[in-house]
């Protein structure tokens, strides 16, 4: 089977809105690395249908649904495995209906190449990702637009100075907090869902804080060595998760999506579901 790249370069239009050929190489590599033979594909953002046709030829056994805000007059003849539908990437009810109707057994591959506006992409992710199968890929294109000053929610890259440098130390990196960059960074959380869920509770309140500080102060630690009951109390405070707090953490973590991996290659962000 020809690769996405070799199919795409055959008659490639070089239209700047269509995905660059190198993206096809990266997506092909990601699919091969996961040993994925996608049977269910959702493409969000179709434009003139060039990429949709490439996916159709590369994965002839897949059922492909390609959605766009505005339908264009695209000739999809020869692409019998493609359904071309109107859908806003933020229309929760419609996106869910599409997933339930077309992908009842889950999605193997999602390519989000629509608005490239961070909070819209986040909404789409939250709606669609639960429908992705374990081992499936969710690919976000062009997250680098988040660094473009001219982009609606973009912001110029600002460096974070390291301590020791005489220059002012930035507390936040503006370009990392918002837009597409902020969105893809938020996906990092889902690679740590296990840690979030099993977060050892740290007791709160002044008694617990005192206990924590005491354990860190050498003199107090020595003192407690001669006071077994105080030492036992401190140990209990430090070692035992506080039940109520732990329960909240567990349920917060277990409700989150889980990622097996999150990879960045050029302006593509590739999330693999655990
Ligand atoms: C970059 S183009 C897609 C290019 C295409 N995937 C390709 O590689 O040839 C972005 C497309 O997303 C669509 N789009 C923009 N905002 C959208 C939204 N809110 N929901 C769905 N599609 C949207 C635009 O109409 C446009 O056709």
The 3-state secondary structure of 150-212 reads CCCCCCCCCCCCCECECCCCCCCCHHHHCHHHHHHHHHHHHHHHHHHHCCCCCCCCHHHHHHH
Q: Are residues 84 and 209 in the same domain?
A: no
* Res 73: pLDDT: 98
Q: What is the maximal distance between C-alpha atoms in the chain?
A: 84
Q: What is the pTM of this model?
A: 0.83
- Alpha carbon of 1 to ligand 1 centroid (Å): 27
Q: Are residues 117 and 227 in the same domain?
A: no
* Res 246: pLDDT: 40
Helix, strand or coil, per DSSP, at residue 148: coil
Tell me which residue has its CA closest to atom 9 in ligand 1: 18
Tokens representing 19 are 């995905």
* Res 11: pLDDT: 86
Helices (H) and strands (E) in the chain, counts: 12, 7
* Res 230: pLDDT: 78
Asked if residues 167 and 161 have their Cβ atoms less than 8 Å apart, the reply is yes
pLDDT in tens, the chain (274 residues): 899 999 999 989 999 999 999 999 999 999 999 999 999 999 999 999 999 999 999 999 999 999 999 999 999 999 999 999 999 999 999 999 999 999 999 999 999 999 999 999 999 999 999 999 999 999 999 999 999 999 999 988 877 766 666 666 666 777 778 899 999 999 999 999 988 887 654 545 666 666 666 656 666 667 677 777 777 776 676 655 434 344 444 445 668 999 999 999 999 999 999 9
Q: Are residues 121 and 100 in the same domain?
A: yes
Q: Are residues 220 and 154 in the same domain?
A: no
* Res 163: pLDDT: 65
* Res 254: pLDDT: 65
Is 119 inside a domain boundary?
Answer: yes
Is 251 inside a domain boundary?
Answer: no
* Res 218: pLDDT: 61
Q: What is the DSSP string of 66-87?
A: EEESS------TT-TTEEEEE-
CA-to-CA dists, residue 169 to 63, 111, 176, 178, angstroms: 51, 38, 16, 20
Q: Are residues 110 and 215 in the same domain?
A: no
* Res 214: pLDDT: 61
Is 247 inside a domain boundary?
Answer: no
Q: Are residues 24 and 146 in the same domain?
A: yes
Tokens representing 210 are 């005192």
What is the domain-level CATH number for residue 108?
A: 3.40.50.150
Best probe residue, ligand 1, of 44, 69, 128, 144 (max atoms within 8 Å of C-beta) = 69
Best probe residue, ligand 1, of 68, 93, 143 (max atoms within 8 Å of C-beta) = 68
**Burial 69-106, CB ≥16 within 10 A → b, else e:** eeeeebebeebebbebeebbbbbeebbeebbeebbeeb
Q: Residue for token digits 């699919």?
A: 31
Q: Are residues 110 and 210 in the same domain?
A: no
- Alpha carbon of 162 to ligand 1 centroid (Å): 39
Q: Is the CB of 50 under 6 A from ligand 1?
A: yes
Is 236 inside a domain boundary?
Answer: yes
**Burial 107-125, CB ≥16 within 10 A → b, else e:** bbbbbbbbbbbbebbbbbb
Q: Are residues 70 and 94 in the same domain?
A: yes
* Res 228: pLDDT: 76
Is 248 inside a domain boundary?
Answer: no
Q: Is the CB of 115 under 6 A from ligand 1?
A: yes
Is 250 inside a domain boundary?
Answer: no
- Alpha carbon of 45 to ligand 1 centroid (Å): 3
Q: Are residues 45 and 179 in the same domain?
A: yes
Q: Are residues 60 and 34 in the same domain?
A: yes
Write out the E strands in 4-95: 40-44, 63-68, 82-86
Tell me which DSSP letter residue 234 carries: H
- Alpha carbon of 42 to ligand 1 centroid (Å): 13
* Residue 217 lies in domain: 202-240
Tell me which residue has its CA closest to atom 2 in ligand 1: 47
Q: Are residues 111 and 234 in the same domain?
A: no
* Res 241: pLDDT: 45
* Res 213: pLDDT: 65
Is 91 inside a domain boundary?
Answer: yes
Is 46 inside a domain boundary?
Answer: yes
Q: Are residues 236 and 267 in the same domain?
A: no
Q: How many domains does the chain have?
A: 2
């Amino acid at each position: 089977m020809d690769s996405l790249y070799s199919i795409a370069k055959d008659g490639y239009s070089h239209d700047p809105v269509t995905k660059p050929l190198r993206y096809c190489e990266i997506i092909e590599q990601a699919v091969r690395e996961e040993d994925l033979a996608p049977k269910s594909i959702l493409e969000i953002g179709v434009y003139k249908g060039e990429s949709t046709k490439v996916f159709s030829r590369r994965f002839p056994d897949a059922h492909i649904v390609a959605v766009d805000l505005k339908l264009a007059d695209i000739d999809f003849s020869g692409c019998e495995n493609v359904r071309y539908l109107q859908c806003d990437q933020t229309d929760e009810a419609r996106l869910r209906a599409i997933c339930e109707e077309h992908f009842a057994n889950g999605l193997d591959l999602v390519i989000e190449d629509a608005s490239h506006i961070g909070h819209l992409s986040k909404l789409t992710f939250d709606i669609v990702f639960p429908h992705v199968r374990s081992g499936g890929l969710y690919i976000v294109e062009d997250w680098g637009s988040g660094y473009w000053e001219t982009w609606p929610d973009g912001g110029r890259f600002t460096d974070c100075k390291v301590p020791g440098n005489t220059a002012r130390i930035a507390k936040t990196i503006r370009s990392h907090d918002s837009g597409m960059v902020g969105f893809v960074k938020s996906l990092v959380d889902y690679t740590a869902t296990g840690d979030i869920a099993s977060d050892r509770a740290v007791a709160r309140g002044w008694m617990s804080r005192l206990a924590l500080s005491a354990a860190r102060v050498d003199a107090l630690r020595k003192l407690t060595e001669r006071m077994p009951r105080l030492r036992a109390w401190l140990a209990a405070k430090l070692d035992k998760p506080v039940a109520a707090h732990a329960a909240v953490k567990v349920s917060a973590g277990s409700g989150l999506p889980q990622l097996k991996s999150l990879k960045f290659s050029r302006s593509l962000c590739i999330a693999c579901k655990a």
